[in-house]
Amino acid sequence: MVKYPQYTIVLVNLDPTIGSEIQKTRPCVIISPDEMNQSIRTLLIAPMTSTSKPYPSRILINENSYIVLDQIRCIDKSRVMKLMGTIPASNIPHLKAALKEMLVD
């Protein structure tokens, strides 16, 4: 059984989409906690993009990659095509703070 740890980057087929939803096959960051990822068949993911403006809901993780928190989705694990690595540990506090500001505060 494949494990899907939080903050792992996975390649995900996001199609079909509707309207302004982010589309195509692209890297995404798993943001759901490990406890959920081990227990249920879905994952909460945030897509990544190489082209973005510096919106508060976009987290820059290197010179050409942004995590798009305004496009969070719940996906079935069958959409995951492959594991690609993890985001740098130095980006995790910024990601968590942005999620908290968007969803909690």
Cα–Cα distance measured from residue 43 to residue 74, given in angstroms and rounded to the nearest whole number: 6
Mean pLDDT value of segment 36-51: 95
Instruction: Kindly tell me if the per-residue pLDDT of 53 is higher than 80.
Output: no
Please give the structure tokens belonging to residue 68.
């798009």
Confidence of residue 100 (pLDDT cuts 50, 70, 90): very high
Mean pLDDT value of segment 50-58: 81
pLDDT at 2: 87
Q: Which CATH architecture has domain 8-103?
A: Roll (2.30)
Delimit the domains of the chain by residue range. 8-103
Instruction: Kindly tell me if the per-residue pLDDT of 96 is higher than 90.
Output: yes
With 0.85 as the threshold, say if the pTM is over it: yes
Residue 51 dihedral angles phi and psi, to the nearest 5°: -125, 120
Residue carrying structure tokens 């990544």: 48
Instruction: Kindly tell me if the per-residue pLDDT of 1 is higher than 90.
Output: no
Cα–Cα distance measured from residue 56 to residue 63, given in angstroms and rounded to the nearest whole number: 17
Ranges 5-14, 27-36, 57-66, 83-92: which has the least confidence = 57-66
pLDDT at 67: 95
